[in-house]
Structure 1
Amino acid sequence: MKTKMIYIIGMACMTGTLSAQTVVDYSTFEQKVLDYSQTLKQSVAQRTAMQKAMKAAKTAFFPAVDATGSYQYRINKYEMDFGGMAVPMEHDSYSAEVGVSQPIYAGGSIYHNYKASQIQTQMADKSVDLTTDNIIYAAEASYWGTAAQKEMYETMCQYVQIIEQLTKVLHDKYDDGYISKTDLIQMQTRLKEAELQRSSSYQSYQVALQNMNVLMGLEPLAEMDLTDSISTILPMPAFIGAETALNVRPDYAISQLDVDYQKRQVSLAAAKYNPSLSIGFKETWGTQMLNISGETMFNSNVYASIKLPIFHWGARFKSTAAQKAILLSKQYALQDKQDQISKEVAKAWTSLTENTRQISIAEENCKLAEENLDLNTFSYTEGKLTILDVLSAQLTWIQAYTNLIQSYYEQKIALADYRKATGIRYLGQK
C-alpha cells in the first residue's frame, strides 16, 4: 500500500470547493494586501500631513502681510473743549490698516522649528516603510499559514482514506471469521477519531482562507485557492550582518531621527529666551484720532521691534535641562534598538538555517513512517502482528507528516523573520 497513490484519492476531499475560485500565488496575494491595507493608507496620509506641516513651517521665514480694520460708533453726544470753545466730535470712528512684517532674528526658533518639521517628515517617510514591512510580514505569515492548513487538511484526508481502506479489509475478515470483533472496533474507533481530526483541520483551513480574504479586502466567504504549496522551495538569501541591517532598517532610522528631533527641541527650548528682532511697514487709513470733521487720512509707518529677555527665574535653564533629559532617554533607546536588531538578525539566521536543515530530517522521517505503516499493515493481514502494531504505525505516520508540514511552515516563517530583521528588500534582494 503506497500513500502516494492514496494521495490521489485523498484529493477528492477538495472536490466541490474549487469551482469559481480566485487562485492566488504568494506574490499576487502580497500585492493585493498592500493595495488594500487601511493601515498603510493611514501611514501614507500621516506622511502627507507632515509634508504639508513642513511647508507651513517654512513660511515663517518670509514676510507676513496682514490687514486689520475697526469701526466705532459713539452713542452719546460728545464735545471736546478747546480753550472754552466746545467742538462737537463725530459719532463715527473707523480705520483700516495693512502691515508687512519681516522677522530678522527670532532667537533661532523659526530655523529650529523648520528643521524639526523636516525631521518629522523624514520620520513619517520611514514610518511608511516600517508599516509596509509589517504588512508584508503579516501577509507572509497569513499565506504560508493557510498553505500549511491546506496541506494538513489534505494529509488528514489521506489519513482517513488509509484507515477506511484497512477498516473495509478488517470488516471482510471479521465477516469471514478470521479476526475478533475487538480488532474491528478498535479500527472503527480510530476511523472516527481521524474523521474528527479531518473536520477540525478543514475548519482551521477555512478560517485561514477567510482571514486571507479580509486582508485583500474581499468578502470573508469568497472562494479562493492557493497556487504555492507549503512545500514550495524558496531561494535562500545570503547572510547579512547586523551592521548592514542597521543601515537599512526603517525602525532604526526612526530612532536615529527621533534623537535628531529631540536635539532640535533642546535648541527650541533655549530659543524662547534669546533676543529677537523684526522690522515692518504699516499703512493706515481712517478717521483721525480726534475725529472732529469726519475726514479720513493715510498714515505710513516703518518700525523695528526688538525683544531682550532679561530675567525669567531660571526658566531657560530648567526648560533646556528638561529637554536634554528627554534627549538622553532617546539616545539610550537608540542603543537599545541597535542591540535588539543585532539579536534579531542573529536569531533569524540561526532559525532559518536550522529550520531548513530540519526539513530534510522530517522528509526522511516521513519515508520511514510510510514504510513502517506499509510493513505493519501487511504483516497484520498475514497474521504476524497485532492490531495495536498497526494502530501505532498509523499514529507514527500522521505525526511524521504533521511534523513535516510544521517544518515547512516554520522554515517559511523563519525566512520572513530574516527578511524583516535584515531589511533585505531595501538591499535589492528577494
Structure 2
Amino acid sequence: MRNLQIIILMFCISCYGYGQTQLSIEQSKSMAVKNNNKIKNSVLEVDAAKESKKEMFTNYFPKVTASAIGMQALDPLLEIKMKGGNLPIYDGNPASLANAAQFAYMPDVNMGLFNQVGLGYVSVLQPVYAGGKIKTANNLTSLNVKVKEQQQVLTANEVILITEQQYWQVIILQEKQKTLEGYIRFLDTLYRQVNTAFKSGIIIKNDLLKVTIKQQELQVSKMQLANGRKLALMQLCQTIGADYNSDIMLNSDLTDFSAPENYFVDRNTALPNRAEYQLLEKAVEASKLETKMKKADYLPSFGVGAVGYYMDQLESNLDGAANGMVYASLNIPISEWWGAKHKLKELKNRESIAKNTLEDNKGLLSLQMEKAWTNLTELNDKIHLMEAALLQTEENLLVSQKGYTNGILQLSDLLEAEALKIDTKNKLIEAKSQYRISLTIYLQVTAR
C-alpha cells in the first residue's frame, strides 16, 4: 500500500512545472492517516478491545471442562483382608446351624483394590446468578470499545494537525524562496544600473558596494532557506510515511480564504460531539460500573452443574464403571462484608471525582473552542491588515525607485524600501499559513 501511494504521488506532476512531484495538503493528510504508526496502533487498540468484548460475552455460556487421569500405586490404595476357617454347611434347617455336623474350609482372603486406575470425567457448570458481575463486566468491555474508538479519533486529529503544521511550514519556506528569488533579481537589475552609473562617474563606489554586500547577504539567506526547507520536507515525509524526495513541491493556494464566519458553530452545540467530552462522560460511566462490579463480589452466587465420569481399574477381570450426578452450588462471601462498606464508599468517592472532573473540563473545553475562534478571527484580521500594508510597501517602492532615478533619494532608501516590501510579504505568507492551521484547530475542537 505504501509503495502504491508513492507511485501515485510520483505521477501527480504539474503540467506546467519542471518535473517536480506535486503534493497537496489533502493528499498529505490522507497518507498520514493511512501510514502513520500512531494511527495504526490506535486501530489495533480498537480491534483488541472488540476481541476482549467477545471473550467476555462467553461468560454467559456454561463452563465445560474435561479431564482424564491414570495412576499406578506402589501399594493398593484399598486392601481387604478376610480371615479364613471352617464354615458350617447349611442344610436348610435354621436350627442345625448352631450344631452343624459338616463344615467347609474357607482360606484367608487378601484383596487389593485401586492398584492402578484410569478416570475420566466431564463437568458442565452454568452460572445462574453472580450478583450481576457477568452483565456488568460485559458492559465494561462494551464501554472500553467506545473509549478506544474515541481515542482513535483523537489520535487521528493529532496526526492530521501535525501534518498540517509541517505542511504549511514547508509552504512558508517554499514561498519565502520565491520571494527571495524576486529580491535577488531586483538586486541583479539594480547592480547593473548602479555599475553603469559608477563607470560613468555619476555615483561613487560606495553605492556599488552596498548592492554587492546585499547580494552576498541574500545568497546566505538563500542557502539557509534551502536547508530549512529540506529538513522541514524530510520531517513531513516521515509523518506521512513517504520516502523523501527533494523534487517534491507542495501545492499551495494562499489567495482563496473563506471568512471565519463560514465555519462558526455554537460552543454548546459542538461540546457534546467532542471526543474529549465523550471520553469524560465514559469515565463517569466506567466509575459507576466499577462500583457495581465490586458490589457483585459481596453478593451470593449460584450455579447448577452436571458431572459424568468413567472409572476403570485397568484389569482384565474387572469392568469399568460409569456414573454421573447433577449438583447446585451456592457461594455466600460472608467475611467479605466486613470491609465492603469501606470499599464501596471509596468507589462512590471516585464516582464523585469523575463527575467533578467532567464538570471542570466542560468549562476548559468551552474555553478552548473560544480561544480557537479568537485566534482564527485575529489571523483573518491580520491578513487583511498585512495585505493593505503590502500594497503600501509596493507603492512606497515605486516612489523610492522614481526618487532614486531622479536623484532625490539615496540608494540606501531604495534598498530599505525593497527590504520592507519583502519583509511584509513574508509576514503575510506566515499569517496565511497560520490561518490555515488555526482553521484546522478550530474545526477539530468543534468536533468537525
Task: Provide TM-score, normalisation by structure 1.
Answer: 0.88
Gapped regions of structure 2 (runs ≥ 5): 1-15, 84-108
Question: Aligned pair 1:346/2:345, yes or no?
Answer: no
Residues 54 and 187 of structure 1, relative CA distance in 2, 3 Å threshold:
same
Letter of the structure 2 residue corresponding to residue 189 of structure 1: I
Q: Secondary structure at the match of 2:123?
A: strand
Bigger Cα displacement from structure 2, 264-273 vs 313-322: 313-322
Which position in structure 1 is the counterpart of 2:302? Answer: 277
Deviation track 1:350-392 (CA, whole Å, cap 9, x = no partner) reads: 1112211211111111111112122213312322112332232
CA offset digits 1:247-278 (Å, max 9, x no partner): 21112111111211121111112211111101
1:357 partnered with 2:381: yes
Say yes or no: does 1:257 pair with 2:282: yes
Task: Decide whether the 8 Å contact of 1:29 with 1:139 is kept in 2.
Answer: yes
Q: Does 1:207 align with 2:231?
A: yes
The sequence identity of aligned pairs, in percent, is: 23
- Is 1:239 the counterpart of 2:261? The answer is no
Match of 1:11 in 2: none
Name the CA shift for 1:19/1:215 in 2 (closer, same or farther; >3 Å): farther
Gaps of 5+ in 1: 1-16, 425-430
1:420 corresponds to which residue?
Answer: 444
Q: Aligned residue for 2:155?
A: 131
Shift in alpha-carbon separation, 1:79–1:28, aligned structure 2, 3 A = closer
**Alignment-mate amino acid for residue 68 of structure 2:** G
Residue 291 (structure 2) aligns with: 266
1:54 alignment partner in structure 2: 53
Could you say if the C-alpha distance between residues 253 and 321 of structure 1 is closer, same or farther in structure 2, counting changes exceeding 3 Å? Answer: same
Which residue number in structure 1 is paired with residue 180 of structure 2? 156
Deviation, structure 1 residue 115: 0.6
Matched AA of 2:385: I
Cα distance, 1:327 vs structure 2: 2.6
Are the equivalent residues in 2 in contact too, given 1:148–1:230 (CA < 8 A)?
A: no
RMSD of equivalent CA atoms: 2.3
Q: 1:375 to 1:222 in 2, by over 3 A?
A: closer
When residues 278 and 313 of structure 1 are mapped into structure 2, their CA distance, relative to the original with a 3 A threshold, is closer
CA contact (8 A) 2:259 2:380 kept: no
| 3-state DSSP of counterpart to 1:314 | helix
Output the CA distance in 1 between the equivalents of 2:311 and 2:259: 80
Whichever residue aligns with residue 200 of structure 2, its letter is: D
CA distance in 1, matches of 2:284, 2:247: 49
The answer to whether the aligner puts 1:173 opposite 2:172 as a matched pair is: no
Name the CA shift for 1:367/1:154 in 2 (closer, same or farther; >3 Å): same
Q: In 2, distance between residues paired with 1:216 and 1:232? A: 25
The equivalent residue for 2:244 is 220
Is the Cα–Cα contact under 8 Å of residues 172 and 430 in structure 2 kept in the other structure? yes
* Structure 2 CA distance for partners of 1:83 and 1:195, relative to 1, 3 Å: same
Offset, 1:234? 4.5
Question: Is 278-287 or 18-27 further displaced after alignment?
Answer: 18-27
Residue type of the alignment partner of 2:295: A
1:372 corresponds in structure 2 to: 396
Q: 1:343 to 1:291 in 2, by over 3 A?
A: farther
Which residue identity lines up with residue 292 of structure 2 in the other structure? Answer: S
Question: How far does the alpha carbon of each residue in 1:80-127 deviate from its partner, in whole angstroms, 9 at most, with x for none?
Answer: 134544212342112111111110111121111111011001111212
Does 2:113 correspond to 1:89?
A: yes
Residue 73 of structure 1 and its aligned partner are, at CA, apart by: 0.9
Counterpart of 1:54, as a letter, is: K
Q: Check the 8 A contact 1:70/1:96 in 2, yes or no.
A: yes
Q: Any residues of structure 2 matched to 1:12-27 within 5 Å, and which?
A: 19-27=18-26
Write the distance in 2 (CA, Å) between the matches of 1:183 and 1:327.
Answer: 77
1:313, CA displacement in angstroms?
6.8
Query: Size of the alignment, in residue pairs?
Result: 407
Are 1:266 and 1:324, in contact at CA under 8 Å, matched by a contact in 2? Answer: yes
Q: Which amino acid aligns with 1:251?
A: E
Larger RCO: 1 or 2 (CA < 8 Å, sep 6+): 1
Mean Cα displacement is larger for which, 314-323 or 296-305? 314-323
* Partner SS state of residue 117, structure 2: strand
1:5 aligns with none
Q: Distance in 2 between matches of 1:273 and 1:207?
A: 61
In 2 relative to 1, CA 322–29 (structure 1 residues): closer, same or farther, beyond 3 Å? same
Partner of 2:102: none
User: Relative to 1, partners in 2 of residues 1:250 and 1:79: Cα closer, same or farther, differing over 3 Å?
Assistant: closer
Q: How far apart in 2 are the matches of 1:320 and 1:71?
A: 47
- Measure, in 2, the Cα distance between the counterparts of 1:90 and 1:143: 81
Whether 1:400 aligns to 2:424 is yes
SS of the residue 1:128 aligns to: helix
Cα 1:314–1:178 shift into 2, 3 Å: farther
Amino acid across the alignment from 2:365? I
> What code does the residue aligned with 2:384 have?
S
SS at match of 1:99: strand
Q: Distance in 1 between matches of 2:425 and 2:252?
A: 18
Answer yes or no: is the 8 Å Cα contact 1:276–1:306 preserved in 2: yes
Asked whether the equivalents of residues 72 and 92 of structure 1 are also in contact (C-alpha less than 8 Å), the reply is yes
